[in-house]
Chains A and B, each alone.
Chain A
Amino acid sequence: MRTLYDRNQADVSEAKSGRTDLIFLIRFRHCCLLRNQRCILAYLYDRLLRIRALRWEYGSVLPNTIQFHMSAEEVEWFSRYKKSLATYMRSVGGEEGLDLTQDIKPPKSLYIEVRCLRDYGEFEIDDGTTILLKKNSQHFLPRWKCEQLIRQGVLEHILS
């Protein structure tokens, strides 16, 4: 782009001093410059949109493999977006705020079948009973209690 621009500038100064046949060349180069600018901005903006989608899919902390592919400015954009979103979610919905990244699908049933992926220890549910979460054990638990653990990767929802 710089080369195009420099050449254009040289021709502009020549055109100003009287050579009108260069105008078309100047305009053509300017169009090229504008097109390049559009392409670059489109590419960068598309990357931003994908990074935004990652926040909604993976949560606040991105896996290392993905972070490796992001530039420093993109990481900064992501952390600013995260903060902005968190402020908004906290402001809506009562004292603690409403986590908008949960409840993506309409709830089908109250209790769900889950399998434990790793040792977690004791887990207390609403009616006071405690459950020991050991690796590979299966349980039938209330949905709202499990959602947090499913996101952390401790439990896995079994779809029969």
Chain B
Amino acid sequence: MRGGGGGREEFGLSVRRVPRSHLQRAFFQAWLNEKFAPELLESKPEIIECVVEQLDHMEANLKRAKRGDLKVSIHRMEIERIRYVLSSYLRCRLVKIEKFFPHVLEKEKSRAEGEPSILSPEEFAFAKEYMANTEIYLKNVALKHMPPNLQKVSLLKSVPRPNLDSFVFLRVLERQENILVEPETDEQREYTIDLEEGSQHLIRYKTIAPLVASGAVQLI
């Protein structure tokens, strides 16, 4: 089929095992969630792999295309946009890893067998190297010159934890019932709320953290 549909076939956009719209939606969801969550979220290696594969595919197709074709510019723009979102997502994760490195590593170490990992293997290696690097530096510059009983410092205690009580905006994707909200002050008592699909809320991150992981809400 020539024309619009044929043009898309040419760029291999409809030849995907995962429908492209699903991948894009999941990818953008993961990006926004990661941006607005105060802690490091689960790593999504499958999404990243698919997106990277798609980018490579689009680049390869562009190289083969006719020069001066209008479609080239449009697809080039799309490649740039996807690459920006991918970079932004990975950068956001790296910043969080570096900010909370002892806690992230501790969480990964104490993870149960079946639980999903919050770090990809490469991120784990990066986090370990960062920790070792910082420890060696602090030891060589300061700690080894200090009196004997102060030469160790617990990075787990000194580096601040992510603030899970910070408020986040969210949109509800799947209806939830009976979410327990803990009281903020002593006068209040804990109460339950129902989340209607499509509604938007401003709530403490800790209350809805498991819902973000399961995909029932989207941070905005």
Do B81 and A107 have beta carbons less than 8 Å apart?
A: yes
Do B87 and A73 have beta carbons less than 8 Å apart?
A: no
Tell me the complex Cα distance, A80–B138, Å. 14
The 8 Å CB contact of B138, one of A41, A98, A102, is A41
State the majority secondary structure of interface residues on B. Answer: helix
Any B CB within 8 A of the CB of A52: yes
Do A74 and B137 have beta carbons less than 8 Å apart?
A: yes
Besides A41-B138, A73-B141, 20 other A-B contacts (C-beta < 8 A): A1-B147, A41-B142, A44-B141, A77-B137, A85-B126, A87-B125, A88-B94, A88-B125, A88-B126, A92-B48, A93-B86, A94-B55, A95-B56, A100-B87, A100-B91, A100-B94, A103-B87, A107-B80, A110-B73, A144-B80
Q: Indicate the member of B67, B126, B140 with the most A CB atoms within 10 Å.
A: B126
A77 (CB) vs chain B CBs: closest residue = B137
Q: Of the 9-residue stretches B103-111, B127-135, B174-182, B205-213, which lies at the interface with chain A?
A: B127-135
> Please, which residues of chain A bring their CB within 8 A of the CB of B84?
103, 105-107
Contact A37 B141, CB 8 Å, known A85-B126, A98-B86, A100-B87: no
Which size bracket describes the interface of A in this complex?
35 or more
> Please, which residues of chain B bring their CB within 8 A of the CB of A57?
none
Q: Indicate the member of B76, B80, B84, B137 with the most A CB atoms within 10 Å.
A: B137
A83 (CB) vs chain B CBs: closest residue = B129
Tell me the complex Cα distance, A44–B91, Å. 24
Tell me the complex Cα distance, A41–B98, Å. 17
Any B CB within 8 A of the CB of A128: yes
Please, what's the 1-or-0 string for B54-95, where 1 marks a CB less than 8 Å from any CB in chain A? Answer: 011000000000011000010011001101101110110010
Any B CB within 8 A of the CB of A126: yes
> Please, which residues of chain A bring their CB within 8 A of the CB of B83?
98, 103
In whole Å, how far is A85's beta carbon from the nearest beta carbon of chain B?
7
Do B76 and A77 have beta carbons less than 8 Å apart?
A: no
Any B CB within 8 A of the CB of A123: no
Any B CB within 8 A of the CB of A34: yes
Would you list 13 pairs from A and B whose C-beta atoms are within 8 A, ordered by A residue? A37-B142, A37-B146, A37-B150, A37-B153, A44-B138, A71-B141, A88-B126, A93-B52, A98-B86, A98-B87, A100-B87, A102-B87, A107-B81
Any A CB within 8 A of the CB of B185: no
Tell me the complex Cα distance, A155–B129, Å. 35
Tell me the complex Cα distance, A6–B106, Å. 36
Any B CB within 8 A of the CB of A48: yes
The 8 Å CB contact of B52, one of A80, A81, A94, A126, is A94
Do A84 and B129 have beta carbons less than 8 Å apart?
A: yes
Tell me the complex Cα distance, A52–B133, Å. 12
B150 (CB) vs chain A CBs: closest residue = A37
